[in-house]
């Protein structure tokens, strides 16, 4: 490496392409070093980005981005891309208000050709772009970089199948095969690729074939190549992709930049010759180049502040247990008493807390990979035979399986408990991960019960309620720590559809759902200082509503404020309005909820205060309602 740094002089891929090829390994080394240094101060997605440095550097060096389109899957691996496309100096505020996003966003850069936050989307999007460019007479390429388990998503194979059928000549798929999603990859495909690539006979035969071809006269090369192709039937992971209509290239060593560059040069020529679609299979290591992340890529997938030299994380401040931990420990307790309970995750064992369940009940735990649709219908099948499945899925990811929840679970009234993690505001992960819509899309479904605990203690009791309920039930809870309330030693079911009156009054009533119950009580206490007697109802259920208590409060108080950490459209407040309308009760109502707008990344506490979800904001909303 030369003494002079090269990365500060790269503001766009054109700057990268002006450098001599022999300088690019230095660029890759500087990228890796800077990613570690920057993320150690801000937190973010580390191991995935480190593992994709050479591939992203190679793509931008060889292809003519942004004219050639680059689509990244998920976005966890996108930090090298951001640094090479003019956003290096913005990393000090990644995931912060008015800073750059952790994931890819079309509005952020002309080099972000498609927003990425959910997995399995890159090939479909790139295929659409490639086809559109073909319609418009352009010969530009579209490149999909898929990794971190994105290939376990069924949508990826739907796109591969379609691209092969179209014989889409200007499409390149780069499979970043690091055998990891967030947790280690699972499933037959991952196992198939690993077995084939590790087969010693396959490696020997490939070497023999190359030596043999070098000895043949020109007129026999074509025959020999056909013979070599036939060996792929037995030994090459390319068989699957070639059966889908792709030209398979690889596997290549994804951290040898000279190999990556040569491969992409060849692939670019193949595309120009009309030999696409092409799939490049690159073998990489998640966390490559930073020993701590290489040794534990799961731990260093999404990180907080840490010491880049030692790899040690900043000590956590003591606080109440996380909702995810309370959920997992409660499910373990329930599973000890009921052997029918099984837990399901879609590649988020650690994030949902279910890795602990897996340790205690390994035979009753299933990680299906990044495949939420399959997870839900798999749960439905388990329920058909008398099991009590509990799929734990982030709110934003359960959206991907809406049809399965509706058709395969609710219409058949099957006994599936949905543990909906990360419901509400998620902070730095931003718009692609906000959990604002689950109440609306679940409340509309027949047979579904939708509930939300006011704190981590009530979560215990509601989980038992959901598991014991004979039919589909959804329990939504937020990310992070609880309120610090004591946990009851005995877990008791909550009466279905029964709300809890925490504070009575007749001047106004606050109907609160989930995380906003405690702030609502504080607001009522504050309003009491003004001489107002304000009732607070812990709704507990968005469906079924406690119609009797809500209508009684409406008639007695004459003014209602609903509060919820959810979209204002179709949420709990909308359910209350529907109840009042159906009952012929007309009183002033205000729904305090997330407005109809995209909510970007930021500090959760600041964002909640801006929406009026803190005690002061709720008290102000009541005063305004009374003033009207």
- Confidence label for 206 from pLDDT (cuts 50, 70 and 90): very low
Say whether both 60 and 179 belong to one domain.
yes
- Helical (H) or strand (E) element with 563: strand 560-567
Question: Does residue 9 have a pLDDT over 80?
Answer: yes
Q: How confident is the model at residue 214, as a pLDDT?
A: 54
Say whether both 465 and 604 belong to one domain: no
- Residues 557 and 461 grouped into a single domain: no
Q: What CATH number is associated with residue 543?
A: 3.40.50.920
Report which DSSP code applies to 114.
S
Same domain, 111 and 259: yes
pLDDT top residue among 589 and 219: 589
Based on the number of CB atoms within 10 Å of its own CB, is 390 exposed (0-12), middle (13-18) or buried (19 or more)?
buried
Range 374-401 average pLDDT: 93
Residue given tokens 């090459």 in the structure block: 236
Task: Please say if 498 is a catalytic residue.
Answer: no
Residue 411 DSSP one-character state: T
Domains identified in the chain, total number = 3
Residues 147 and 119 sit within 8 Å (Cβ to Cβ):
no
pLDDT-derived band at 390, boundaries 50, 70, 90: very high
Confidence of residue 197 (pLDDT cuts 50, 70, 90): very low
Whether residues 525 and 384 fall in one domain: no
Q: Out of 306-315, 327-336, 592-601, 609-618, which region has the weakest mean confidence (pLDDT)?
A: 306-315
Examine the domain organization and report whether 353 and 463 are in the same domain: yes
Reported as a pLDDT band with limits 50, 70 and 90, residue 360 is very high
Instruction: Looking at the structure, tell me whether residues 38 and 183 fall in a common domain.
Output: yes
Lowest mean pLDDT among 330-334, 614-618, 624-628: 624-628
Q: Active site residue: 372, 456, 526, 564, which one?
A: 372
Q: Tell me if 385 sits within 8 A of 415, measured CB to CB.
A: no
Confidence of residue 230 (pLDDT cuts 50, 70, 90): very low
- 97, 16 contact by CB (below 8 A): no
Of 208-212, 252-256, 361-365, minimum mean pLDDT range: 208-212
Residue 614 lies in a domain: yes
**169: annotated active-site residue:** no
Domain residues for 545? 501-627
> pLDDT band at 244, cuts 50/70/90?
confident
| The one catalytic residue among 87, 105, 247, 286 | 286
Q: What is the pLDDT of residue 237?
A: 67
Written as one string, the DSSP assignment of 331-360 is HHHHHHH-TTEEEEESS-HHHHTHHHHHHH
Residue 81: closest CA among 62, 103, 97 = 103
Whether 286 sits among the annotated catalytic residues: the reply is yes
The domain boundary, picked from 442, 476, 510, lies at: 476
pLDDT of residue 101: 78
Lowest mean pLDDT among 106-110, 227-231, 509-513, 564-568: 227-231
Once rounded to an integer, what is the mean pLDDT over residues 583-609? 89
Residue 388 and residue 269 share a domain: no
422: left (phi over 0), alpha (psi -120 to 50) or beta: left
403 in the same domain as 261 = no
Given this model, what pLDDT does residue 202 score?
42
* pLDDT digit string, tens, across residues 484-538: 999 999 999 999 999 999 999 999 999 999 999 999 999 999 999 999 999 999 9
Tens-digit pLDDT profile for residues 155-194: 888 999 899 988 999 999 999 988 644 344 444 444 344 3
pLDDT for res 36: 87
Strand arrangement of the beta sheet that strand 534-538 belongs to = 500-503, 534-538, 508-512, 560-567, 589-594
228: in domain: no
Claim to verify: residue 364 and residue 469 sit in the same structural domain: yes
In this structure, are 297 and 153 located in the same domain?
yes
Four-CA torsion 219, 224, 225, 229, nearest 10 degrees? 160
Cα–Cα dist 441/445, whole Å? 7
Residues 192/237, Cβ–Cβ less than 8 Å: yes
277 and 337 both lie in a single domain: no
Catalytic hit among 400, 443, 454, 540: 400
For the chain, the straight-line distance linking the first and the last C-alpha, in angstroms and rounded, comes to 70
C-alpha distances (whole Å) from 415 to each of 410, 441, 472, 556, 594 are 9, 19, 5, 38, 31
């Amino acid at each position: 490496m030369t003494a002079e740094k090269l990365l500060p002089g790269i503001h766009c891929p054109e700057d990268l392409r002006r450098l001599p090829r022999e300088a690019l390994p230095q660029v890759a080394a500087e990228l890796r070093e800077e990613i570690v240094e920057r993320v150690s101060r801000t937190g973010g997605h580390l191991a995935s980005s480190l593992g994709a440095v050479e591939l992203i550097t190679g793509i931008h060096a060889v292809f003519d981005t942004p004219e050639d389109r680059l689509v990244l899957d998920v976005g966890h691996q996108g930090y090298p891309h951001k640094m090479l496309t003019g956003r290096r100096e913005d990393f000090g505020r990644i995931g912060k208000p008015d800073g750059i996003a952790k994931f890819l966003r079309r509005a952020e850069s002309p080099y972000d050709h498609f927003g990425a936050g959910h997995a399995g989307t890159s090939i479909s999007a790139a295929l659409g772009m490639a086809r559109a460019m073909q319609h418009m007479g352009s010969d530009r390429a579209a490149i999909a970089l898929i990794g971190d388990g994105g290939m376990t998503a069924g949508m990826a194979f739907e796109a591969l199948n379609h691209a092969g059928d179209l014989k889409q000549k200007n499409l390149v798929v780069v499979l970043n095969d690091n055998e990891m999603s967030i947790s280690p990859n699972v499933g037959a495909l991952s196992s198939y690729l690993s077995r084939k690539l590790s087969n010693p006979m396959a490696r020997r035969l490939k070497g023999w074939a190359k030596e043999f071809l070098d000895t043949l006269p020109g007129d026999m090369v074509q025959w020999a190549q056909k013979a070599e192709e036939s060996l792929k039937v037995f030994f090459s992971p390319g068989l699957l992709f070639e059966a889908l209509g792709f030209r398979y290239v690889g596997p290549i060593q994804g951290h040898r930049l000279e190999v990556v560059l040569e491969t992409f040069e060849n692939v670019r020529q193949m595309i120009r010759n009309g030999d696409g679609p092409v799939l490049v299979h690159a073998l990489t290591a998640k966390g490559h180049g930073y020993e701590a992340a290489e040794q534990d890529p799961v731990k260093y997938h999404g990180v907080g502040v840490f010491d880049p030299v030692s790899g040690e994380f900043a000590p956590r401040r003591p606080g109440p247990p996380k909702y995810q931990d309370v959920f997992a420990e409660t499910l373990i307790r329930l599973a000890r008493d009921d052997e029918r309970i099984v837990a399901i995750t879609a590649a988020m064992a650690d994030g949902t807390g279910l890795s602990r369940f897996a340790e205690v009940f390994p035979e009753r735990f299933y990680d299906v990979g990044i495949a939420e649709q399959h997870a839900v219908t798999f749960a439905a099948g388990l329920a058909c035979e008398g099991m009590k499945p509990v799929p734990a899925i982030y709110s934003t990811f359960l959206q991907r399986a809406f049809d399965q929840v509706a058709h395969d679970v609710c219409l058949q009234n099957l006994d599936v408990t949905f543990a909906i993690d990360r419901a509400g505001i998620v902070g730095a992960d931003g718009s692609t991960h906000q959990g604002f819509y689950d109440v609306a899309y679940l409340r509309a479904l027949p047979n579904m019960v939708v509930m939300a605990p006011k704190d981590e203690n009530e979560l215990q009791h509601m989980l038992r309620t959901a598991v014991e309920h004979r039919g589909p039930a959804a329990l939504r809870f937020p990310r992070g720590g609880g309120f610090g309330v004591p946990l009851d030693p005995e877990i008791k079911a909550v009466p279905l559809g029964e709300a809890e009156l925490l504070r009575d009054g007749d001047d106004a009533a606050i109907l609160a759902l989930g995380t906003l119950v405690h702030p609502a009580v504080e607001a009522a206490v504050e309003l009491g200082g003004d001489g107002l007697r304000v009732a607070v109802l812990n709704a507990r259920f968005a469906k079924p509503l406690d119609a009797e208590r809500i209508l009684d409060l409406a008639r007695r108080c004459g003014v209602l404020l609903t509060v919820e950490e959810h979209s204002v459209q179709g949420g709990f407040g909308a359910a209350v309005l529907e109840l009042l309308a159906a009952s012929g009760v007309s009183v002033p109502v205000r729904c305090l909820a997330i407005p109809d707008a995209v909510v970007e990344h930021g500090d959760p506490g600041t964002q909640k205060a801006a929406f009026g979800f803190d005690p002061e904001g709720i008290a102000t909303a009541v005063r305004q309602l009374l003033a009207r």
